[in-house]
Structure 1
Amino acid sequence: MDLIPKPDQVVSAASNVAHMLAYGGLADLRTMPRTLIDDGNLREVYHYRPAAHAVETGDPVLLVTPLAAPALCFDLRRGCSLVEHLVSGGRPTYLVEYGQVSFKDRSLGMEHWIDEVVPAAIREVSAHAGGRPVHVVGWSVGGIFALLAAADQPDLPIASVSLVGSPFDTSKVPIIAPVRPLLNLGGADRGMITRAYQAMGGAPQPLVRWAFQLSSFQKLVTKPIALATHLDDRDFLAQIEAVDRFTSKMTAYPGRTFGQLYHRLIKGNGLVDGTFELNGRTISLSAITAPVLVFGGANDGIAPIAAVRAVLPLLTGSRETRFEVVPGGHLGMLTGRAAGGTTWKVLDEWVAEWSTPPIEVKPPKRARKKPAPKKAPTNKVAAKKAAAKKAPVKKKAATSPDQPESAIGVNPRRRYGSQGSRSLTR
């Protein structure tokens, strides 16, 4: 809104304020309908129901949520929902989430998600989609879990892996640098932070919510000013409302998992060399053969571009790696107002490039009734006409088997330019 608002801006602002007061908000917060297809200990796998009059085609996409974040990260609001985008495009879309974490789950470690939850979800989705390979898309820590599972179990039916804002070099995260000297206060192994999360059984919900808000401290401080200056922008207000709902639904971290993330990833930077020790074995990212797409957010304070890009040299066994810089912060790059023309567009191209050709299901043939025998012609003229009718019709030459089909994924060497993404790094 201008410093001196125009008459139409005043009218729009008044309308938006009246709508918020009367109905409690502006955003369409309806979640996409879904069906539970598998569950287990802190594992729920959902299939999003196809859009009306739409037919699902192609390989399925599995969305992997990070710990402590609700599934709303992929389904923020109508118009800014990756789930809605995929479902509307006819793509079989699935999601794995973990439910509410309680004190009784404090003994669960990262191996629960890497060994059990993510692999079980991938196999279930593949089976539910008719045995097709799965395109796995993970946001933040969800991407780290997905990549470690793919490296540890190479037999998983994975078509590709996409990482959105997943940091692999925590030394490149600026918000950690100022507090790093404080991490060892009270001793390297039994510092104050360690004693605190062990006593609480993990990281409780209020602390997780506060940490996420702190990562966008500047936006948090300037939020009242931003709201006041955008009262005439209905879509802007709706997005703020949806993000507030997302933040309010943060969940807790299990104690042992939080300890591993804290000691091994934040303090020890344990993924920077491409290996990870888990349950007495070494998981190496070089074992991944599936193609990997990596997204970095231009304004991401939790997982800056340098911290995310650090994974690329570690994927030496991957058939192809690709890095894209997209606008937005940690959440905005995934489901912000500009994501539809940036992140989602690149993701669509990537999934199409690495998808198998669609399986054609032919309808069963119906038995044809035999025509009644015709009477013999009574004269020579009639006989000639009958013979002409019986003459075989020449068929068109069959298409050469060498002729390429116009199916998705037949040219795995195809590349897509992303000039808009590259310009953000300049």
Structure 2
Amino acid sequence: MDLIPTPDQVVSAAGNVAHTLLYGGLADLRPMPRTLIDDGELREVYHYRPAKGVEETGDPVLLVTPLAAPALCFDLRRDCSLVEHLVAQGRPTYLVEYGQVSFKNRALGVEHWVDEVLPEAVRTVHEHSGSRGVHLVGWSLGGIFAMLVAADRNDLPIASLTVIGSPVDVTKVPLVAPVRPLLNLTQGRGAITRAYRALGGVPVPLVNWAFTAASAQKLVTKPLAVLTHLDDTDYLAQLEAVTRFMSSMTAYPGRTFGQLYHRFVKGNALATGRMEVGDRTIDLAAITVPVLVFAGNTDGIAPLPAVRAVVPLLSGSEQVRFEVVPGGHLGMLTGRAARGTTWTVIDEWVAAWSGRAPAAQEKAARKAPARKTGAKKAPAKKAPAKKAPAKKAPAKKTAAKKTSAKKAASAGAIGTNPTRRYGSAGSRALGPR
């Protein structure tokens, strides 16, 4: 709104104030309708119902929520919901979330999500969608979980991976970097460790406080922002939806928080590309599927350098693409600008890598002909007269190899759009390695 508002701005501002007072807000906070298709311990897999008059087509997308943050991150409000956007296009859309964490879940570690929750969700979506490849889209810690699973389980039917605002090098996070030396002085016996062990995790009030502290500057300037945007209905609706999101945090299980705190925050383990999970070490270089990485240009929780650090670690991926988009940690995913930036790139990426058999199925298909060919060789030895047609088999194999070689060559160009930039020279596509 202008310093001296115009008559139209005054009318709009008055209408917004009146609507808020009469109806309690401006945002349409109705959730997108969904159906529970699978559940387990801290695992709920939902399928979003197709939009009226729209038929579901193509490969499914599985949205992976982080711990503590609610699934509202993907379905913030109507007209600004990634779920609504995908469903409106007819894209089969699924989500995995974890429900309410309680004291009884305190012994669950990171391996629960990497070994059970996410793999089971991928298998469920694969079967429910008609055995199609699954495109994982993970935000924040959800993106890190998705990368760990893709690196650890190349037998899963994962078609592609999209990572949004997931910091890998914690030393490049301004909120954490200054205190890391102090954390290391306690050698795992400090007040934080004693506190989360006694509480069985990190309760909701502390999670809310942490997120609030991370966005303290925005909270201080919020009253002024509201006054200067009283005539902007969309802005006020977004602010209202974000406020609801911030008040809907969930708790962290004790052991999981301890692993993330000691290995991820204090140890900065993922900066090397390797992290201990359960009884093994997972290496991000083992990811073979295409990976799309997003960083927000004003993200304070996962700043650009902390996110971009993952790119050289994905040396085994078929293709890695790095994009810088407008917005902070939540805004880059579901802010008003995301509708024309982040979501557009996700649409292109999923479409480009759709329709291919998942890696696990391709391996099985390659093994099957080998066993059949071996079975046909036995009768060829007994009947010398049939040796002539048997010689044609190598020719067929050569043709098959040429066809696969052409596909591999063309795959390198998929998902690249050198003409799009969002005001940052950091957005680029990286070819196969």
TM over 0.5: yes
Distance in 1, Cα, partners of 2:121 & 2:338? 26
Residues 282/341 of structure 1: CA separation in 2 closer, same or farther (3 Å cut): same
Q: How does 1:65-214 map to 2 (within 5 A)?
A: 65-184=65-184, 187-214=186-213
Please give the secondary structure, in 1, of the residue aligned with 2:270.
Answer: coil
**Amino acid in the other structure paired with 2:269:** G
Give the structure 1 partner of residue 10 of structure 2: 10
Identity within the alignment, %: 71
Report if the CA contact (8 A) 1:183-1:193 is conserved. no
User: Cα offset for 1:94?
Assistant: 0.2
Q: How does 1:302-381 map to 2 (within 5 A)?
A: 302-356=301-355
Distance in 2, Cα, partners of 1:85 & 1:134? 18
Structure with max Cα Rg: 1
Q: How does 1:236-255 map to 2 (within 5 A)?
A: 236-255=235-254
Distance in 1, Cα, partners of 2:419 & 2:137? 19
Please give the secondary structure, in 2, of the residue aligned with 1:258.
Answer: helix
User: Cα offset for 1:280?
Assistant: 1.8
**Amino acid in the other structure paired with 2:334:** T
Distance in 1, Cα, partners of 2:40 & 2:221? 42
Residues 411/77 of structure 1: CA separation in 2 closer, same or farther (3 Å cut): farther
Q: How does 1:376-391 map to 2 (within 5 A)?
A: none
User: Cα offset for 1:184?
Assistant: 4.3
User: Cα offset for 1:218?
Assistant: 1.2
- The CA RMSD over aligned residues, in Å, is 1.6
Report if the CA contact (8 A) 1:16-1:232 is conserved. yes
Q: How does 1:12-31 map to 2 (within 5 A)?
A: 12-31=12-31
Distance in 2, Cα, partners of 1:410 & 1:211? 47
**Amino acid in the other structure paired with 1:340:** R
Q: How does 1:222-301 map to 2 (within 5 A)?
A: 222-301=221-300
Report if the CA contact (8 A) 2:323-2:426 is conserved. no
Unaligned runs of 5+ in 1: 359-408
Unaligned runs of 5+ in 2: 358-407, 428-433
Please give the secondary structure, in 1, of the residue aligned with 2:339.
Answer: helix
Query: TM-score w.r.t. structure 1 length?
Result: 0.86
Residues 184/276 of structure 1: CA separation in 2 closer, same or farther (3 Å cut): closer
Q: Deviations over 1:141-194 (max 9, x none)?
A: 000001101111110000000000001100000011233244246x22210111
User: Cα offset for 1:420?
Assistant: 2.1
**Amino acid in the other structure paired with 1:341:** G
Distance in 2, Cα, partners of 1:111 & 1:206? 25
Give the structure 2 partner of residue 57 of structure 1: 57
Give the structure 1 partner of residue 420 of structure 2: 419
**Amino acid in the other structure paired with 1:293:** L
User: Cα offset for 1:421?
Assistant: 3.1
Q: Deviations over 1:212-268 (max 9, x none)?
A: 121122111100110111111111100000001111110000000001111110010
User: Cα offset for 1:357?
Assistant: 6.6
Distance in 2, Cα, partners of 1:298 & 1:135? 25
Distance in 2, Cα, partners of 1:220 & 1:411? 49
Residues 418/293 of structure 1: CA separation in 2 closer, same or farther (3 Å cut): farther
Query: TM-score w.r.t. structure 2 length?
Result: 0.84
Distance in 2, Cα, partners of 1:232 & 1:93? 34
Report if the CA contact (8 A) 2:29-2:77 is conserved. yes
Distance in 2, Cα, partners of 1:151 & 1:423? 29
**Amino acid in the other structure paired with 1:96:** V
* Deviation larger for 59-68 or 199-208: 199-208
Relative to its length, the structure with more helix (as a share) is 2
Report if the CA contact (8 A) 2:159-2:356 is conserved. no
Give the structure 2 partner of residue 35 of structure 1: 35
Residues 410/78 of structure 1: CA separation in 2 closer, same or farther (3 Å cut): farther
**Amino acid in the other structure paired with 1:251:** T
Please give the secondary structure, in 2, of the residue aligned with 1:271.
Answer: helix
Distance in 2, Cα, partners of 1:319 & 1:34? 33
Give the structure 2 partner of residue 44 of structure 1: 44
> How many residues get paired?
375
Please give the secondary structure, in 2, of the residue aligned with 1:45.
Answer: strand
**Amino acid in the other structure paired with 1:3:** L
Give the structure 2 partner of residue 390 of structure 1: none
Report if the CA contact (8 A) 1:172-1:307 is conserved. yes
Q: Deviations over 1:59-99 (max 9, x none)?
A: 00000000001100000001110000000001000000000
Report if the CA contact (8 A) 1:353-1:411 is conserved. no
Report if the CA contact (8 A) 1:139-1:166 is conserved. yes
Give the structure 2 partner of residue 388 of structure 1: none
User: Cα offset for 1:411?
Assistant: 5.6
Report if the CA contact (8 A) 2:143-2:164 is conserved. yes
Report if the CA contact (8 A) 1:82-1:335 is conserved. yes
Distance in 2, Cα, partners of 1:191 & 1:80? 42
User: Cα offset for 1:24?
Assistant: 0.2
**Amino acid in the other structure paired with 2:140:** S
User: Cα offset for 1:419?
Assistant: 3.1
* Deviation larger for 58-67 or 269-278: 269-278
